[in-house]
């Protein structure tokens, strides 16, 4: 006679009990899926001897890092012709020591350009032809310097306008389009490819999490069509990065909508990634006074949005990395950038490095997911 229950009995020995997965780091849990978990790094915080937790958490929780500022043109070449590589070199060395990949950020962007460049263009001492040469030289210098050390480069950042600024029609915005015309985008990818044939080359932007009506004021649709055009023309673009700067005051998206957008990009032959995730909230008087009635819904909404992006990334096998734009409210760009009304509470850890609900939400997503709906990543090869 077979006793009820014995057929399903699983022998348990002390040694075979799996480690509590919630004790594992995000990077270890991401590795189960081949997914890299990253953060932007503030070099001043990383260097601060009085802030050892910052360093410790960057090293232990993440296996890809992005320079929050020190690889931007104004930081690298504050004076024309004189590069200051030291802070960026430091990050690359830190990453190597901690077995981390590096996302290079950023080669072409209209913000944080050196004053000598923008002023030279404004006063006519730098001509259009010279500007194009300067851009080519900059891309070549930077990409060559870090050749073989950068996994993904954000080659072009935030080139498309937003529906709230240009409701009639999305178009290319900013300094580079204005002075060099639309062709600068393809040029930039070609120059970057020539300088490091092994780095994955990304277009990176915000407000790309999901499609809208696929009409003229749909930014995701605009960038999708642009990426498609670039691929069809043989431009060496390997991926599209969705920054993932969200706010809990907005409607935002569900995981199916976000997955649809990632799938559309990867169907073009592109890798995808979340590159700058944070989910901010308005710091009302109640929040600032510590009123839990106001704080809790914001923390939960933030966690929900982090999770939506994580689930969509896990579901798209070409989504190579999920990077947050800072991991602690102690060092987040949000309170200094969004001041009217004041915003904050945007990251995974509070100001005292306590993990918030958002941290555990994405950790749970990484733990409780697997086949058949979540499969390992498909690596991207640079376009030849």
Give the residue among 260, 270, 199 at the shortest CA–CA distance from 240: 270
Give the residue with the Cβ less far from ligand XIL, 315 or 346: 346
Pick from 57, 68, 244, 308 the residue near ligand XIL by CB under 6 A.
Answer: 68
Q: Which long-range contacts (CB under 8 A, 24 or more apart) does 189-192 make?
A: 189/155, 189/156, 189/230, 189/235, 189/236, 189/237, 190/235, 190/236, 191/135, 191/136, 191/139, 191/140, 191/143, 192/107, 192/139, 192/143, 192/153, 192/155, 192/236
- Of 68, 77, 209, 276, which is the active-site residue? 276
Q: Cα(214)–Cα(73) distance, rounded to whole angstroms?
A: 34
Pick from 274, 333, 338, 349 the residue near ligand XIL by CB under 6 A.
Answer: 333
Total residues contacting ligand XIL (rule CB under 6 A)? Answer: 6
Query: Is 158 annotated in the active site?
Result: yes
Give the residue with the Cβ less far from ligand XIL, 69 or 347: 69
- Of 68, 158, 209, 343, which is the active-site residue? 158
Give the residue with the Cβ less far from ligand XIL, 176 or 311: 176
Give the residue with the Cβ less far from ligand XIL, 94 or 333: 333
Give the residue with the Cβ less far from ligand XIL, 68 or 218: 68
Give the residue with the Cβ less far from ligand XIL, 44 or 367: 44
Query: Is 23 annotated in the active site?
Result: no
Pick from 39, 63, 69, 307 the residue near ligand XIL by CB under 6 A.
Answer: 69
Pick from 39, 63, 152, 157 the residue near ligand XIL by CB under 6 A.
Answer: 157
Least distance in angstroms from the C-beta of 69 to ligand XIL: 5
Least distance in angstroms from the C-beta of 375 to ligand XIL: 30
Least distance in angstroms from the C-beta of 148 to ligand XIL: 23
Give the residue with the Cβ less far from ligand XIL, 256 or 337: 337
Which residue sits closest to ligand XIL, CB atoms considered?
333
Beta bridge partners of 281: 344
Write out the E strands in 158-226. 200-205
Q: Which residues contact 255 (CB under 8 A, 6 or more apart)?
A: 307, 308, 311, 312, 315
Q: Are 278 and 346 in contact (CB under 8 A)?
A: yes
| Residue 140: Cβ within 10 Å count | 15
Beta strands at 271-282 and 343-344: parallel, antiparallel or unpaired = antiparallel
Q: Which of residues 231-250 bind ligand XIL (CB under 6 A)?
A: 243
Q: Are 220 and 272 in contact (CB under 8 A)?
A: no
Beta bridge partners of 156: 108, 203
Q: Encoding tokens for residue 220? A: 């995701």
What secondary structure letter does DSSP report for 382?
A: P
Residue 274 touches ligand XIL, criterion: CB under 6 A: no
Residue 153 touches ligand XIL, criterion: CB under 6 A: no
Least distance in angstroms from the C-beta of 157 to ligand XIL: 5
Q: Cα(112)–Cα(304) distance, rounded to whole angstroms?
A: 32
Buried b (16+ CB within 10 A) or exposed e, 163-180: beeeeeebebbbbbbeeb
Q: Cα(330)–Cα(272) distance, rounded to whole angstroms?
A: 29
- Our CA dihedral for 218, 109, 102, 151, rounded to 10 degrees, sits at 70
Least distance in angstroms from the C-beta of 31 to ligand XIL: 26
Least distance in angstroms from the C-beta of 265 to ligand XIL: 18
Residue 276 touches ligand XIL, criterion: CB under 6 A: yes
Tell me the catalytic residues.
158, 276
List residues near ligand XIL by CB under 6 A. 68-69, 157, 243, 276, 333
């Amino acid at each position: 006679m077979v006793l009820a229950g014995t057929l399903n009995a699983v022998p348990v020995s002390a040694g075979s009990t799996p480690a509590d997965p919630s004790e594992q780091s995000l990077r270890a849990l991401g590795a189960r899926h081949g997914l890299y978990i990253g953060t932007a790094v503030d070099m001043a915080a990383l260097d601060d001897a009085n802030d050892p937790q910052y360093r410790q958490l960057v090293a232990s929780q993440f296996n890809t890092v992005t320079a929050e500022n020190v690889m931007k043109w104004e930081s690298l070449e504050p004076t024309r012709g004189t590069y200051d590589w030291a802070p960026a070199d430091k990050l690359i060395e830190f990453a190597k020591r901690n077995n981390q990949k590096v996302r290079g950020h950023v080669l072409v962007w209209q913000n944080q350009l050196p004053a000598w460049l923008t002023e030279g263009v404004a006063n006519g001492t730098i001509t259009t032809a010279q500007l194009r040469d300067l851009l080519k030289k900059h891309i070549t210098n930077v990409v060559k310097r870090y050749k073989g050390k950068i996994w993904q480069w954000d080659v072009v950042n935030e080139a498309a306008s937003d529906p709230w600024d240009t409701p009639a029609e999305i178009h290319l915005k900013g300094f580079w389009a204005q002075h060099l015309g639309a062709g600068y985008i393809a040029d930039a990818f070609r120059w970057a490819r020539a300088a490091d044939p092994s780095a994955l080359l990304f277009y990176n932007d915000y407000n790309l999490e999901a499609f809208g009506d696929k009409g003229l004021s749909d930014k995701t649709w605009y960038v999708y069509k642009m990426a498609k055009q670039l691929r069809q023309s043989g431009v060496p673009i390997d991926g599209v990065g969705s920054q993932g700067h969200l706010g809990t005051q907005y409607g935002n998206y569900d995981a199916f909508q976000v997955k649809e957008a990632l799938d559309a990009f990867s169907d073009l032959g592109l890798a995808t990634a979340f590159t700058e995730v944070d989910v901010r909230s308005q710091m009302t008087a109640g929040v600032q006074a510590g009123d839990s009635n106001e704080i809790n819904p914001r923390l939960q909404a933030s966690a929900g949005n982090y999770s939506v992006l994580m689930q969509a990334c896990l579901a798209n096998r070409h989504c190579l990395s999920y990077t947050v734009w800072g991991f602690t409210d102690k060092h987040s760009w949000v309170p200094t950038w969004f001041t009217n009304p004041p915003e904050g509470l945007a990251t995974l850890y509070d100001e005292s490095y306590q993990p918030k609900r958002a941290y555990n939400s994405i950790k749970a997503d990484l733990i409780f997911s697997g086949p058949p709906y979540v499969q390992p990543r498909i690596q991207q090869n640079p376009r030849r």
